[in-house]
Amino acid sequence: MGRKLLYLLTVGVCVAYYIYMPLPDNFEEPWRLMLISTPMKIFLHLASFVEFLGLYHVMDSFALIMAFVEVPPTSDENVTVTETKFDNVPVRVYVPKRKLDAQRRAVFYIHGGGWCVGSAGNYDLLSRWTAERLDAVVVSVNYRLAPKYHFPVQFEDVYNALRWFLRKTVLESYGVNPERICVSGDSAGGNLAAAVTQQLLGDPEVKTKAKIQALIYPALQPLDLDSPSHRENAQMPILSKALMVRFWSEYFTTDRMLEKAMLSNRHVPEEYSHLFKFVNWSSLLPERFRKGHVYNNPIYGSPELSQKYPGFLDVRAAPLLADDSKLHGLPLTYVLTCQYDVLRDDGIMYVTRLRNAGVQVTHNHVEDGFHGASSFPELKIFHRLTDHYINWLKKNL
């Protein structure tokens, strides 16, 4: 009897550990979110253990799961879905079947997944809804992923595909109006969207530019990983601080020493101290997001990591490092941030810097939002965020 009770108690504790998590009171569907995050937490622990045994890289395990839930390219009565390549980069294209006399709008979408996992097939519903409700051509790009490929490969894949799409002959073949194009993405895709939009601005060879950009809880800088949102949301479901740091480090290298340095926020050498002014949350965040937090001056790291992996100091990987002169010419911008997201402050700091540079910005801050909220159609918040995003596109594109 004693052993059975001990066994039941042990099982109960394990179940409670994986299912229950303390969540903010204003979460709309807390138990449903717990049920969604539970298998993710279990899988992350299993994948980490398998990696510890030296059998499989944790990101490769993630990629297998993401591939399992990928939606194949399937046309329906409203949208034709095809797969092709733009400058040798795989893309999935969604074209509405409704006939138009005029040219269509277009959304060039870049999926999230920490530069390590995910594909256009994991964003099929969002792309399909955008194409149908906006009556727009949607191009969803499949860039190469870490750990097999590191920065700048992901950036270059996305930028090369975008440049190809913006060619006059390609736009004409899809019936796209060259003056009504949006570059958009979420999370790591938001990072890439911001980076390629900056790059596009200064590229004299590309005559067609984006009319607008839309960034959904973007990751914009790996220099300071001790902002208030990193502190407050370190253990939030879907994306913890530890997992985000792992994504950042994998973007640049499989060397775990960079991850270790990033976790202690001691990875930037003193010779790059001038860059911190671009990500100084004590001056860039509104007071309500700084309240109760003390800004710690940077503790500089060894120059060895930056010499080996200079990517984390590159503006193409960290769009917040762009100076004001580069931000000034950027197009009308939509930024979605979530209160309970480690990346919250990245997006808010970018809003501040863009506005200071004279860029028009629509900032949609979701008080009950969390990272990945626009990826789970079984949740009410998914529909709320998606509706707001598509309605903004409809009004401004």
- The 3-class secondary structure across the chain, one letter per residue, is CHHHHHHHHHHHHHHHHHHCCCCCCCCCCHHHHHHHHHHHHHHHHHHHHHHHCCCCCHHHHHHHHHHHCCCCCCCCCCEEEEEEEECCEEEEEEEECCCCCCCEEEEEEECCCCCCCCCHHHHHHHHHHHHHHHCEEEEEECCCCCCCCCCCHHHHHHHHHHHHHCCHHHHHHCCEEEEEEEEEEECHHHHHHHHHHHHHHCCCCCCCCCCEEEEECCCCCCCCCCCHHHHHCCCCCCCCHHHHHHHHHHHHCCCHHHHHHHHCCCCCCHHHHHHHHHCCHHHHCCHHHHCCCCCCCCCCCCHHHHHHCHHHHCCCCCHHHCCHHHHCCCCEEEEEEEEECCCHHHHHHHHHHHHHCCCCEEEEEEEEEECCHHHCCCCHHHHHHHHHHHHHHHHHC
Inside any domain, residue 38: no
| 36 found inside a domain | no
Closest CA to 381 of 395, 364, 393, 396: 364
Residue 28, in any domain of the structure: no
The domain tally of the chain equals 1
Instruction: Tell me, yes or no, whether 297 lies in a domain.
Output: yes
Dump pLDDT digits (tens) for 354-364.
999 999 999 99
**Does residue 32 form part of some domain?**
no
Q: Does residue 49 lie within any of the structural domains?
A: no
Q: Is residue 54 part of a domain?
A: no
Catalytic residues: 187, 341, 371
Q: What domain range is 172 assigned to?
A: 78-396
Largest CA distance in the chain: 78
Q: What is the pLDDT of residue 63?
A: 84
**60 located within any domain:** no
- Which CATH number does the domain housing residue 259 bear? 3.40.50.1820
Residue-level pLDDT, tens digit, the chain, 397 residues = 555 554 444 434 444 444 556 777 788 787 788 777 887 888 788 888 888 888 889 888 888 888 888 999 999 999 999 999 999 999 999 999 988 778 999 999 999 999 999 999 999 999 999 999 999 999 999 999 999 999 999 999 999 999 999 999 999 999 999 999 999 999 999 999 999 999 999 999 999 999 999 999 999 999 999 999 999 999 998 899 999 999 999 999 999 999 999 999 999 999 999 999 999 999 999 999 998 899 988 889 999 999 999 999 999 999 999 999 999 999 999 999 999 999 999 999 999 999 999 999 999 999 999 999 999 999 999 999 999 999 999 999 9
**Amino acid at the residue 29:** E
Residues 166-180: tens digit of each pLDDT: 999 999 999 999 999
pTM of the predicted protein model: 0.94
